[in-house]
């Protein structure tokens, strides 16, 4: 069954409602359900708008169980994309342009141009709406569309088709190169989803090929698998530099998202417009109930329901327990600085704001899965990830079968004190 999705980028506030109404009327005419979304903020760039749009489309597809997302890209869009990537110094993967079907995105109009598309609309008595921003020379793609391609068409009237054939040749060449690089043995399923918009994969940088060319090819292919985006030579070099070390945590912003290396794991992180502040607000734990916290479940004085981490506190503590996020200057009772506790346990930086802390007033008494469990009374606290796993170092926290522990739970640590700056 066909579903229609329309996304308001918040770039045309006066016309947004009319755009949505136009799409809704067409959807109604063909008997298709429609889902309308709106950006939480106006995009900062064309790339930003694209990322927001595709995040919305993938979310809708997942919610309705759709297997494919169809877009209206034409051969004109393909020609513009190839020229843009060439200008920015892209490699073969970039100049390969868009594919008719890749990563769940179908482009059924990629073999025809805008003129043919407009003719089909006219024949079906549909008058397309035009986005005025498509005429603005402020955007690089529009300058290529309005200035560069018309000049190239003076040399070859079929320049769009020629650029599309070039993209096909680049695709074949890139596929041949990738066939020679043993990348699939390097890519493995991630321990946990990073966000709620896509299934992600992590890369163990220690298993990348030692040969520089093969290593670079593996990284570029991994990034393209995650984002569908090509990388310029400068971006490829930066990604290779990021993957050349296993020390600490580093982040690199790239087209389509960010690459975050946490020790030996290289992760893809999709950009998120606004954090879920409601989910991060402190939550009081009432006895006989539980709360959800960024994929964790914390129960107080009730069945553990298989949650892997348990602690025991007295009645007075149980009456004042709060689940909250970390705050500047936090210290864990009898363990010292929370920052040091996270570092010792190799909890990835990106997870620290999402990790649940059990606190009484200002005192953090327990960090589930990281610090030893309190054992001071008869009231049981049970905690653990539900649905989305949270990782610490290279171990899976909350895996009941393997019962693995992070560093700070398995090693004796000096209590309290400042071990110096980090």
**What DSSP assignment string belongs to 355-409?**
S-EEEETTEEEE-TTTSPPPBSSSEEEEEEE-SS--EETTEETT-TTT----HHH
Q: Residues 242, 295: one domain? A: no
| Most distant CA pair in the chain, distance | 84
Specify the number of domains making up the chain: 3
**Could you give the CA distance from residue 264 to residue 266 in angstroms, rounded to a whole number?**
7
337 occurs within a structural domain: yes
118 occurs within a structural domain: yes
Q: Residues 21, 167: one domain? A: yes
Q: Residues 282, 198: one domain? A: no
Which of 273, 310, 274, 280 has its CA nearest to residue 295?
280
210 occurs within a structural domain: yes
**Could you give the CA distance from residue 148 to residue 142 in angstroms, rounded to a whole number?**
9
325 occurs within a structural domain: yes
Q: Residues 19, 160: one domain? A: yes
**Could you give the CA distance from residue 322 to residue 319 in angstroms, rounded to a whole number?**
9
**Could you give the CA distance from residue 205 to residue 219 in angstroms, rounded to a whole number?**
9
pLDDT at site 262: 84
**Beta-carbon count within 10 A of 14 CB:** 6
DSSP 134: G
250 occurs within a structural domain: yes
**Could you give the CA distance from residue 390 to residue 359 in angstroms, rounded to a whole number?**
20
Contact at 8 Å (CB) between 187 and 222? yes
The tens place of each residue's pLDDT in the chain, 422 residues long, gives: 899 999 999 888 888 889 999 999 999 999 999 999 988 888 888 888 888 899 899 999 988 889 899 999 999 999 999 999 899 888 777 788 898 988 789 999 999 999 999 999 999 999 999 888 888 898 889 999 999 999 999 999 999 999 999 998 888 787 766 655 445 555 543 333 233 333 456 788 888 877 777 788 788 888 887 787 778 778 888 999 999 988 888 888 888 788 888 888 888 877 653 344 444 678 888 888 888 878 788 999 887 778 899 999 999 999 999 999 888 889 998 888 998 899 888 888 778 888 999 999 889 999 999 999 999 899 999 999 875 334 333 333 333 223 333 433 333 334 444 433 33
Q: Residues 26, 168: one domain? A: yes
Count Cβ neighbours within 10 Å for each residue of 85-116 and write b for 16 or more, e otherwise. beebebbbbbbbbbbeeeeebbbebbeebbee
Q: Residues 125, 53: one domain? A: yes
What's 159's domain CATH number?
3.40.50.620
Contact at 8 Å (CB) between 344 and 413? yes
Contact at 8 Å (CB) between 82 and 97? yes
Q: Residues 290, 334: one domain? A: yes
Contact at 8 Å (CB) between 264 and 246? yes
pLDDT at site 407: 39
418 occurs within a structural domain: no
415 occurs within a structural domain: no
420 occurs within a structural domain: no
**Rounded to two decimals, what is the model's pTM?**
0.49
Q: What domain range is 90 assigned to?
A: 4-179
**Could you give the CA distance from residue 306 to residue 290 in angstroms, rounded to a whole number?**
13
> Which of 157, 179, 201 is the C-terminal boundary of a domain?
179
**E strand residue ranges, 213-346:** 249-254, 257-262, 265-269, 283-284, 289-293, 296-300, 309-313, 321-324, 331-332, 336-337
**Could you give the CA distance from residue 192 to residue 205 in angstroms, rounded to a whole number?**
17
**Could you give the CA distance from residue 401 to residue 176 in angstroms, rounded to a whole number?**
42
Q: Residues 27, 175: one domain? A: yes
Q: Residues 158, 198: one domain? A: no
Which of 402, 398, 290 has its CA nearest to residue 347?
398
> Which of 146, 179, 212 is the C-terminal boundary of a domain?
179
Q: Residues 303, 405: one domain? A: yes
pLDDT at site 389: 38
pLDDT at site 179: 54
Contact at 8 Å (CB) between 186 and 211? no
Q: Residues 250, 325: one domain? A: no
Residues 6+ apart with CB under 8 A from 151: none
Q: Residues 311, 261: one domain? A: no
> Which of 160, 179, 198 is the C-terminal boundary of a domain?
179
């Amino acid at each position: 069954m066909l579903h229609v999705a329309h996304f308001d980028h918040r770039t045309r506030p006066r016309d947004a409602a009319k755009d949505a109404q136009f799409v809704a009327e067409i959807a109604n005419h063909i008997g298709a359900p429609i889902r309308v979304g709106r950006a939480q903020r106006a995009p900062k760039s064309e790339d930003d708008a694209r990322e927001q749009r595709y995040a919305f489309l993938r979310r809708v597809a997942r919610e309705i169980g759709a297997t494919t997302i169809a877009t209206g890209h034409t051969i004109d869009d393909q020609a513009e994309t190839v020229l843009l990537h060439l200008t920015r110094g892209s490699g073969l993967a970039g100049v390969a342009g868009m594919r008719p079907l890749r990563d769940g995105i179908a482009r059924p109009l990629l073999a025809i141009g805008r003129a043919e598309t407009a003719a089909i609309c006219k024949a079906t008595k549909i008058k397309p709406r035009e986005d005025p921003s498509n005429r603005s020379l402020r955007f690089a793609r529009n300058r290529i569309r309005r200035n560069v391609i018309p000049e190239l068409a003076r040399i070859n009237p079929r320049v769009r088709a020629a650029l599309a054939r070039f993209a096909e040749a680049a695709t074949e060449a890139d596929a041949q190169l990738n066939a020679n690089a043993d990348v699939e043995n390097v890519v493995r399923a991630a321990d946990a989803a990073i966000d709620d918009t896509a299934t992600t994969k992590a890369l163990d940088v220690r298993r990348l090929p030692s040969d520089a060319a093969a290593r670079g090819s593996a990284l570029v292919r991994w990034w393209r698998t995650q984002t569908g985006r090509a990388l310029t030579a400068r971006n490829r070099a930066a990604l290779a530099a990021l993957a050349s070390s296993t020390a600490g945590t580093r982040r690199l912003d790239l087209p389509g998202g960010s690459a975050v290396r946490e020790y030996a794991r290289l992760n893809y992180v999709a950009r998120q417009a606004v954090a879920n502040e409601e989910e991060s607000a402190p939550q009081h734990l009432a006895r006989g109930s539980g709360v959800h916290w960024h994929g964790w479940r914390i129960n107080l004085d009730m069945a553990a329901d298989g949650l892997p981490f348990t602690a025991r506190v007295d009645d007075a503590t149980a009456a004042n327990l709060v689940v909250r996020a970390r705050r500047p200057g936090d210290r864990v009772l009898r363990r010292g600085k929370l920052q040091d506790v996270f570092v010792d346990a190799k909890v990835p930086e990106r997870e620290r704001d999402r990790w649940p802390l059990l606190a009484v007033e200002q005192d953090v008494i327990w960090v589930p899965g990281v610090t030893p469990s309190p054992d001071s009374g008869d009231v049981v606290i049970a905690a653990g990830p539900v649905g989305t796993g949270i990782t610490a170092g290279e171990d899976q926290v909350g895996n009941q079968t393997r019962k693995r522990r992070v560093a700070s739970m398995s090693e004796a640590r000096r209590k309290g004190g400042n071990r110096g700056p980090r």
